Structure 1
């Protein structure tokens, strides 16, 4: 429960996405210590150590708000506040890889919720991000079914069977702008 309060305090002053707090409740009350989507779990790096490996510029650090781990190795999901936008419902979702690479994965928080229903952690490198799971040997996360049911019932969003469409749309819309913006702070 502490992470829930810490995240809400961290995001204070920003307009939270409609389904953000309900997802925190789902995670705390139903998923508890079990994963509902592979690799995803709420986290907060108040010191922004991961982001600081890219840049310590204040304009960079105050435009990315990380809120969750994306995989088991320290990759993260964050909101990208474009041009000072304070409304997180429409902020694109970006991911930063633990071993490098940064990409837009969703145009907004609801799209990330749908990606999480795919139940696969992102594979992130410098060139691309993708979500893959083998149909033959993928073991669903312990609370995956509960999450998919919750997503439909509470959010009115359909679970997905492939994350490519969402990621590709977000990339078409934001990839160039995000890469250009990051290049102001970090040179590969």
Structure 2
């Protein structure tokens, strides 16, 4: 995805620096650099499955494919928060709205695990089969992440746990409120 397309996709939210940098990186690598993840424009079908309330779509800005089943990653807009501080959530293909990263830099760390994600109404988990090979662009991604963000790689499970601890209750309350409207 071209960086200008990401700006259009996330508007009216500003694009977090980490996601803007990722859009530039994605143009330099062929194929996946993180299992099943693609920055892409979606048709908001998944959002409409959850709620038709305008506030729901306004607060969730989908920016990428989370897995091949149709789950999607989104920024959760919080009034008054800087774009770089917004949490990243996943909208499950079979239901469920869950935090996956405290912010976009943590999301980049999460992607560095190079694993697919499973999502249900109740939980989110990482999957990996025994025959898993690194995504073709993963070595370049890991190098880029270290070079541009000085990130030490953390476990994706740790990133998920911190996001759940910080935002889980608020995300569930947000989803429940809007699902009933």
Q: TM-score range by the shorter chain?
A: over 0.9
**Paired residues for 1:41-56 under 5 Å:** 41-45=38-42, 47-56=43-52
- Give the Cα separation in 2 of the matches to 1:22 and 1:174: 24
Find 1:168's aligned residue among 161, 165, 169: 161
Q: Are 1:37 and 2:34 an aligned pair?
A: yes
Contact 1:93 1:106 in 2 (8 A): yes
Q: CA RMSD in A?
A: 1.6
* Paired residues of 2:6 and 2:15 also in contact (CA < 8 A): no
Relative to the length of structure 1, the TM-score reads 0.89
Aligned to 1:128: 123
Instruction: Give 1:179's match in structure 2, choosing from 172, 175, 179.
Output: 172
Which is further off, 116-125 or 3-12? Answer: 3-12
> What is the rounded CA distance, in whole Å, between the counterparts of 1:4 and 1:148 in structure 2?
20
Contact 1:79 1:91 (C-alpha < 8 Å) held by counterparts: yes
Alignment partner, residue 20 of structure 1 = 19
Q: What CA deviation, in whole Å up to 9, does each residue of 1:110-163 have, x standing for no partner?
A: 1110010000121111111011335x5321100111000000001111223x31
Mapped to 1, the partners of 2:21 and 2:169 lie a distance apart of 32
From the superposition, tell whether residues 58 and 13 of structure 1 become closer, same or farther in structure 2 (CA, over 3 Å): closer
SS in 2 for 1:105: strand
Point out 4+ residue stretches in structure 1 off by more than 4 angstroms: none
Structure-2 residue corresponding to 1:8: 7
2:9–2:63 CA contact under 8 A, matched in 1? no
Q: Distance in 1 between matches of 2:11 and 2:94?
A: 30
**Does structure 1 conserve the Cα–Cα contact (< 8 Å) formed by 2:6 and 2:63?**
yes
